[in-house]
Structure 1
Amino acid sequence: MPLETPSRIVQELARHGYNAEREAVTLIAGAADPATALARAVEEAGDDAFRVTAADVRAVLDAARSADAETTPSPTASPTGDSTPAPDPSVSSGDPGDGAAARAIETPDETTGGRRRREANRSPVPVDIAGDITGQSTGTGEYADFVKVFKDRYERLSSHLRGRVNHRPAEAIQRMSGGSDAAMIGLVNDIRSTASGHWLVELEDTTGTFPCLVMKDRDFASQVDELLMDECIAVEGTLADDSGIMFVDSMHFPDVPRTHAPNTADRHVQAALISDVHVGSQEFMADAWTNFTDWLHTEEAHAVEYLLIAGDMVEGVGVYPNQDEELDIIDIYDQYERFSEYLKQVPGDIEIVMIPGNHDAVRLAEPQPGFDETLRDIMDVHDARISGNPSLVTVEGVKVLMYHGVSLDEVIAELPEEKASYDEPHKAMYQLLKKRHVAPQYGGHLRLAPEEKDYLVVDDVPDIFHTGHVHKLGWGKYHNVLAVNSGCWQSQTDFQKSVNIDPDAGYAPIVDLDTLDMTVRKFA
């Protein structure tokens, strides 16, 4: 096929089973006969390689130039008796002149792909991943496991609140005299309204429960609308005369400190944040994906060194009713094979980190471990880093909390529209940051896997919070944390029409890791 564009070169390499460094694609595109250069580069790489490198292509081009030089006629005499060298057409550039184009390929300038500049500038600090459940799961589903995970949740979240209130355990508050000042940290066990329109919030700690009354005319009463079951809060107030209830004067959340100073990279480098690719669906936007990967091969994208994918690589099988009628690929392993082929279109020098989502072939209960060895083998062509959902990924010193985002459905369903909606998914993400937990409410649609520790607690404040799942694009900053929901790569399905979801598809948020500024590029 014609190879006049980098995209077609990448596709042809993928057909042969290879990925490629960005500069390798640039060198092939600049050759006089790209098809021949590609074929010889594949031979040079060898059958046991996954990636065609710039070194492979240069070796091919250098060999072609050497062969060309051996067949070039000797200098001939001009009519004046001077020796004039004959033109030396370059196999790599087609330049009939003095070979300047060939020399340009040997030493790329600022417009020729950027791999050398990357290697010179790349930070020696590797990508670091924390909070990964993969290989660490110990839960058996027994009652004791659930007790452990909620105790761990309470202890870790209460640590963010103990310095702000003079906390007393529930059993100690029950023994205090009426009219005393009191403060308690607990998990929300129940919320109900009284006949007078006040709010009764029951909190639970490791010693028992205690009822707390929020009067409807208090300044902070609207915060009750933000409460979810099982989240951790602190309250301060005064005990009733009979000590049977606390009248709440203030309410506190674990929250991100307003003084949070985000980490930034010490050089100009960018990360692309995407999610919900959904390969295997009839609605997967292959053209938009190719436009995206084409752009990644351009000089304009030379600073993009990381691609972070927040789940749902494939459409999956049996995820929702009648899904089989909307599948382009009906076998789950074939879906991952196809995703792997699309992943090969990404430049080989971009580091990829990906976590699973609810459409992926992992357990549905969160935290979700990363893919099993079979799927890792299928997707290893790009040496992608695969982690669990959620994971805290440190890139160039910047902490990125990656979470697929299933809990956003419940946050949006439970909270008032002005505080969480599908049209502004980042506001729902703000709520999770405020609660310092990515999935606080237990017992709804979200499945929770009981473990010895609660992997869903947000211990370290991230600099970027990246989610997907809801197929809507939204971003903003909450206490200096950049929250990004990155949309999807799947146009509207019949199921989405039935539940009134109009997806934002074909977008790629690009974050400057040195400033945490963000631009959004559309490829559909």
Structure 2
Amino acid sequence: MPSELSARIVSALAQHGYNADREAVTLLAGAKYPNTALEEVLDLIADDTLRITAADVRPVIDSTPSDPSSITEPANKDSTRDNNAQDQSISDQKTEYLPSQSNSPNDVTPDLDSSPEQTTGASQPPQKAHTSTPETNQSVNSFDINGDITGRSTGTGSYDDFVSVFRDRYERLSSHLRSRVNHRPTQAIGSMSGETDTAIIGLVNDIRSTKNGHWIVELEDTTGTFPCLVMKDRSFADVVNELLFDECIAIEGTLSGDGEILFANDIHFPDIPHNHTPNTADRHVQAALISDIHVGSQEFVYDAWERFAAWLHTDEADAIEYLLIAGDMVEGVGVYPDQDDELDIVDIYAQYETFAEHLKSVPGDIEILLIPGNHDAVRLAEPQPGFDDELRSIMSAHDARISGNPSFVTIEGVQILMYHGVSLDEVIAELPSPKANYDEPHKAMYQLLKKRHIAPQFGERTRLAPEDSDYLIIDEIPDVFHTGHVHKLGWGKYHDVLAVNSGCWQAQTAFQRSVNIDPDVGYAPIIDLDTLEMTVRKFL
């Protein structure tokens, strides 16, 4: 099948708002007069058709009377993007779509020998027809940021700071549980009669097993602590393996005869409600989610980044108006032992200058949001403030928005929780592999959503800064949860919240080889904000 003609057919269909399967495109390209065949197919299909199939094409193949050369590319939309970049050929890219049902790059077998037209044209999701005027088709730049610690940090590390942040954590997370259980303060439970039904809401203070294999979970609230016994034969006993210290839960049960312990009948998490209905944009617009660029590393994959940036200038990427980068713009300096041996750029400011140069290759009409990660030149303790004025000035060429880590971003009405993802290491280390692992990073993200907290466990692998309030609580329910850090690609939905870990742009380092992590490099998840459907582009 002539790839150029096929690409023109796919473009013409997309211009009319339709998708087509490969066989339909093949039949149209092989027709005696493809242009007329295409026009007749469009006339005959039902109004509610989204995908044109071979069955739609076959009846009209032999009745096309016009010249195939008349098929032309759709005209470009008015845009402020660089025309030179649009003309740049990317025909040598190894580019593909991954289906939205998949949640791992290993779920598909990429056809990397195919041309971009063949691997992406007939398998991309339906696109809306561009029927609006240039004025209404432009970005409305609906972009709001909440939960940013930048300029608001008050913590000094004092005892009072720690008391304040944990008291705030308890009060806010317990509010999500109070309507579900008839709870009592631990101090009041201590004076209740034995064999009374009650419930406790508290932070997990201790977890220990008995000699018989049962579990004792000690909860703490603002009045004291109280032990709860989870019998190993109860249907919910395995949930204990999902618990982390310092997270907020509720335990319902019956007091022992002496009133000294609560026999657990159920365990509740703050959790995302099952009836959550996601917000969507009221027009067809897309956002690209990426993270972990690591400019300055010898393993930064420059070629993949250049392919990605060049693709953003093409018609296929025309609906992408937002680029969200979830931390680690640069490799940093002194982040881990002997890092200097793996640096291509040894000066931290030079790393950011080079990153800024790479950012210039992104189309100028794309709104960019940057949040820091653990390799960036900000404090390591979370919540992390955005970059300081000097680094902001270095990265000012594209006029990117800069916020702290984490940040709650509302774009075109869609609420996106941006978090670099350091606590995923802790969740993966502490929980059983089926619940959280590096090959399926979105499952660890599910746990954070279930616990309604970015970093539930304090004082272990994740550095946390005490503030006057807990900036890491997931108060509002996001429609999209975007993380990075672990350099693995994975996505899925938890109670209709789309969780996406976007991989990286850095090849395997010596450290990753030592811990057997094989990074997913050069991927760009693309979200349709009007449907929250997602496809993944690969540029390596």
User: Shorter-chain-normalised TM-score: which range?
Assistant: 0.7 to 0.9
Cα separation, 2, equivalents of 1:126 and 1:140: 35
Name the counterpart of 1:289. Answer: 305
Offset of residue 297 of structure 1: 0.2
Matched, 1:225 2:241: yes
Q: Mark the CA change 1:370 to 1:26 in structure 2 (over 3 Å): closer, same or farther.
A: same
Name the counterpart of 1:175. Answer: 191
Aligned mate of 2:347, from 331, 334, 340 = 331
Per-residue CA deviation, residues 487-511 of structure 1 (Å, 9 max, x unaligned), is 0000001111111111000000000
Cα separation, 1, equivalents of 2:140 and 2:414: 14
Cα separation, 1, equivalents of 2:86 and 2:511: 42
Cα separation, 1, equivalents of 2:429 and 2:87: 54
Aligned mate of 1:148, from 164, 168, 175 = 164
Cα separation, 2, equivalents of 1:30 and 1:460: 43
Matched, 1:162 2:178: yes
Offset of residue 126 of structure 1: 2.6
Aligned-partner residue type, residue 415 of structure 1: L
Name the counterpart of 2:315. Answer: 299
Matched, 1:472 2:488: yes
Aligned mate of 1:128, from 133, 138, 144 = 144
Name the counterpart of 1:59. Answer: none
Cα separation, 2, equivalents of 1:408 and 1:262: 24
Matched, 1:322 2:338: yes
Alignment partner of 2:427: what SS? helix
Larger radius of gyration: 1
Cα separation, 1, equivalents of 2:413 and 2:166: 31
Per-residue CA deviation, residues 342-398 of structure 1 (Å, 9 max, x unaligned), is 000000000001100000000000000000000000001111110000000000000
Cα separation, 1, equivalents of 2:501 and 2:87: 38
TM-score (norm 1): 0.79
Q: Is the 8 A contact 2:86 2:314 kept in 1?
A: no
Cα separation, 1, equivalents of 2:81 and 2:278: 36
Name the counterpart of 2:530. Answer: 514
Q: Mark the CA change 1:263 to 1:118 in structure 2 (over 3 Å): closer, same or farther.
A: farther
Name the counterpart of 2:82. Answer: 25
CA RMSD between the two structures: 1.6
Name the counterpart of 2:104. Answer: none
Name the counterpart of 1:366. Answer: 382
Q: Mark the CA change 1:231 to 1:30 in structure 2 (over 3 Å): closer, same or farther.
A: closer
Name the counterpart of 1:268. Answer: 284
Per-residue CA deviation, residues 239-264 of structure 1 (Å, 9 max, x unaligned), is 00110000000110000000000000
Aligned-partner residue type, residue 184 of structure 2: R
Cα separation, 1, equivalents of 2:436 and 2:81: 46
Cα separation, 2, equivalents of 1:24 and 1:274: 20
Name the counterpart of 1:204. Answer: 220
Cα separation, 1, equivalents of 2:352 and 2:171: 40
Q: Is the 8 A contact 1:314 1:360 kept in 2?
A: yes
Aligned mate of 1:499, from 509, 515, 524 = 515
Alignment partner of 1:251: what SS? strand
Where does the alignment leave 5 or more consecutive residues of structure 1 unmatched? 1-20, 32-113
Cα separation, 2, equivalents of 1:28 and 1:189: 57
Q: Is the 8 A contact 1:398 1:513 kept in 2?
A: yes
Matched, 1:460 2:484: no
Name the counterpart of 1:45. Answer: none
Question: What count of residue pairs does the alignment treat as equivalent?
Answer: 421
Name the counterpart of 1:247. Answer: 263
Per-residue CA deviation, residues 211-263 of structure 1 (Å, 9 max, x unaligned), is 00000111111111100000000011000011000000011000000000000
Q: Is the 8 A contact 2:387 2:402 kept in 1?
A: yes
Aligned mate of 1:396, from 401, 412, 416 = 412
Q: Mark the CA change 1:27 to 1:486 in structure 2 (over 3 Å): closer, same or farther.
A: closer
Aligned mate of 1:352, from 365, 368, 390 = 368
Per-residue CA deviation, residues 251-283 of structure 1 (Å, 9 max, x unaligned), is 100000000000000011000000000000000
Aligned-partner residue type, residue 416 of structure 1: P
Name the counterpart of 2:55. Answer: none
Aligned mate of 1:430, from 446, 451, 465 = 446
Cα separation, 2, equivalents of 1:515 and 1:339: 32
Cα separation, 1, equivalents of 2:367 and 2:141: 13
